[in-house]
Amino acid sequence: MFPLWIAFMIALALVGLGVWAYRRYAPQPSGREDRYTPERILTPEQVAMLDYLHDTFPGQVVLPQVKLKDMLSIRRATDRRRAEERLARQQVDFVVCGQDGRPMFAFDIEQYHLSNAKAKTHQVKMKNRILKTAGVRFLFLKNGIHRMPSPSEFRKQLDLAALPQPIPKEASEPESVRQQLESKFSEFDQIFPATGFRDSEVMGMSGLMDLGNEDSDRQARQRSAVRHRA
């Protein structure tokens, strides 16, 4: 007579085999009876701001909620793995692309954080530093289009704030030894337009709108100097 425990183990194995066979060969549901519900991708405020940016950049691509890893690549890094992690953790609310499809401006909507403000400020500074090295100007937008200037005025100020972008290296072009050596140095990181804005800071709307005044003041001083020389 079989011991009871052997009979139990055989029965358990047969049950397991039956479950496996059912899962393996049973017809799978077609999904025709499944139903879905749309979830909100953008808030109404974000939709309004997206429309505003389309008016500011007519004919250009404006994308919402883009991760940095989807818009930037690493030119050089001391620790590439950590640099990739920084890109993966960060995203921006909106990105504006140039005619070549590469990002020119990145925007976040202005928010005031009451909790963990110090950590969030550090993340914003990190995001700004990353974008700046790629020649992408990072700015804060007001949290409502009624607080923004007209699209034409905003575009005029943004043109003054644009950063020079590093020349992309085409994958099809082989690098010479000299080019490989030169690529280890960042000739771009030190080149920025001469404005009154400190590039280490994140630019807000007040700093952006002051650029036009500074430009007008500079032109007035130049005209005055010309008249005095005459």
Q: What is the pLDDT of residues 131-168, one digit of tens each?
A: 999 999 999 999 889 999 999 999 999 988 888 877 76
- Any domain includes 16: no
Model pLDDT for residues 91-133, shown as the tens digit of each residue: 999 999 999 999 999 999 988 766 677 778 888 999 999 999 9
Asked if pLDDT for residue 58 goes beyond 90, the answer is yes
- Any domain includes 17: no
Q: Is 48 exposed, middle or buried (0-12, 13-18, 19+ CB in 10 A)?
A: middle
- Any domain includes 157: yes
- Any domain includes 103: yes
CA 174 to CA 131: how far, in whole Å? 26
- Any domain includes 172: no
- Any domain includes 175: no
Q: What is the mean pLDDT of residues 196-212?
A: 62
Strands 62-67 and 91-97: antiparallel
- Any domain includes 13: no
CB 68 within 8 A of CB 130: yes
- Any domain includes 230: no
- Domain that includes residue 139, residue range: 44-164+186-218
Number of domains in the chain: 1
Looking at residue 8, its pLDDT comes to 74
Looking at residue 222, its pLDDT comes to 47
